[in-house]
């Protein structure tokens, strides 16, 4: 069995070459998630942390903030979405070619587009965990394959909000969106045996390391019981050619997308291709 919990990232050179090992790619496709260490340098982590602090306090013309309507998810976390549109420094990371190349290799897609970014804060003494859920039911996409990278700029563990994943849960397919304020039991919805609840893998991370997870993978984040915020940049990528389902979503409402047609255009840039 491949060891999915901790796989080292080694940059091999030019971005037209594979930057991830075959083992890493196989682990992601088998288990639905993978940890990759040190995707950002210490200098990049400090830079990203400073940009996130600026983005949190600035007035945003385009980014969706945590008070925007659109479901209970926006009231569980302090977050801003599409921060790249208002902060050039954040755009450097949301468009980061190395990270997008990783997403390309993990999915095997011909191209990778940005769907949106998240700047996420779990504030000090925030006792609310993020409940078990899949991401894909919330996204207005017909085809599965979209995935998220989750990069903390603070070390994370079970005390301040690290993630947990259920290996191979992406194989259950699309289920239903969870109400984040009054969450349903995802395991019950999936008709999974109680013993399968023992399978979650806890993934503490050092700042600048990351996880990638499939939009169908069951995942959860612990509460932040410390006296410091837990800050994370998450980026959602989708394979080029992913089509619009017509489902309401803040990133796609009222911008002229046609159901059944590819999600593309200047708000969803192509970041990597074969």
Q: What is the pLDDT of residues 206-225, one digit of tens each?
A: 999 999 999 999 999 999 99
DSSP-derived secondary structure letter, 267: T
DSSP line for 36-76: EE-SS-HHHHHHHHHHHHHHHHS--SSSEETTSSS-THHHH
> How confident is the model at residue 194, as a pLDDT?
56
Q: Indicate if the pLDDT at residue 48 is higher than 50.
A: yes
Q: What is the CATH number of domain 7-273?
A: 2.60.120.620
Rounded to an integer, the average pLDDT of 111-121 is 96
pLDDT digits (tens, 9 = 90+) for 228-252: 999 999 999 999 999 999 999 999 9
Instruction: Give the whole-number percent of the chain exceeding pLDDT 90.
Output: 74
> How confident is the model at residue 56, as a pLDDT?
86
**pTM of the predicted model as reported, rounded to 2 decimal places:** 0.89
Q: Are 205 and 90 spatial neighbours (Cβ–Cβ below 8 Å)?
A: no
> How confident is the model at residue 234, as a pLDDT?
98
pLDDT, the chain, mean: 88
> How confident is the model at residue 152, as a pLDDT?
98
Token pair of 138, please? 């919330």
User: How far is C-alpha 155 from the chain's CA centre?
Assistant: 17
Q: Indicate if the pLDDT at residue 45 is higher than 60.
A: yes
DSSP-derived secondary structure letter, 141: B
Q: Are 131 and 220 spatial neighbours (Cβ–Cβ below 8 Å)?
A: yes
Cβ burial, residue 31 (10 Å; 0-12/13-18/19+): buried
Determine the Cα angle at 14 with ends 12 and 18, to 5°.
Answer: 55
Task: Label residue 178 by pLDDT band (50, 70, 90).
Answer: confident
Task: Label residue 58 by pLDDT band (50, 70, 90).
Answer: confident
Closest CA to 112 of 251, 9, 231, 15: 15
DSSP-derived secondary structure letter, 139: S
What are the boundaries of each domain within the chain?
A: 7-273
Longest dimension (CA), the chain: 48
> How confident is the model at residue 77, as a pLDDT?
61
DSSP line for 71-108: -THHHHSEEEE-GGGT-HHHHHHHT-HHHHHHHHHHHT
> How confident is the model at residue 52, as a pLDDT?
94
Report the run of H or E that residue 181 belongs to, with start and end. Answer: none
- As a whole number of angstroms, the distance between CA 19 and CA 248 comes to 36
Q: Indicate if the pLDDT at residue 270 is higher than 90.
A: yes
Rounded to an integer, the average pLDDT of 29-57 is 96
Rounded to an integer, the average pLDDT of 43-61 is 89
């Amino acid at each position: 069995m491949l060891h999915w919990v901790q796989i080292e990232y080694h940059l091999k050179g030019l971005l037209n070459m594979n930057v991830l090992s075959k083992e890493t790619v196989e682990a992601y496709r088998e288990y639905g998630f993978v940890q990759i260490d040190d995707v950002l340098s210490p200098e990049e982590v400090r830079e990203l942390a400073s940009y996130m602090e600026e983005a949190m306090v600035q007035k945003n013309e385009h980014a969706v903030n945590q008070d925007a309507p659109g479901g209970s998810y926006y009231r569980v976390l302090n977050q801003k979405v599409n921060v790249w549109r208002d902060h050039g420094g954040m755009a450097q990371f949301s468009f980061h070619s190395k990270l997008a190349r990783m997403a390309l290799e993990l999915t095997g897609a011909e191209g990778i587009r940005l769907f949106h970014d998240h700047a996420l804060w779990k504030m000090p003494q925030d006792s609310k965990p993020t409940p078990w859920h899949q991401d894909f039911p919330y996204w207005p996409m017909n085809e599965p394959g979209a995935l998220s990278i989750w990069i903390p700029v603070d070390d994370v563990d079970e005390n301040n909000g690290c993630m947990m994943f259920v290996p191979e849960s992406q194989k259950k397919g699309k289920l239903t969106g969870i109400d984040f304020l009054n969450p349903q039991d995802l395991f019950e919805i999936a008709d999974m045996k109680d013993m399968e609840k023992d399978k979650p893998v806890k993934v503490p991370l050092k700042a600048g390391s990351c996880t990638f997870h499939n939009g169908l993978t069951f995942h959860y984040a612990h509460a932040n019981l410390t006296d410091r915020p837990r800050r994370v940049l998450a980026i959602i990528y989708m394979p080029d050619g992913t089509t619009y389902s017509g489902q309401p979503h803040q990133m796609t409402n009222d911008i002229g997308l046609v159901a059944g047609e590819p999600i593309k255009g200047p708000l969803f840039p192509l970041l990597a291709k074969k």
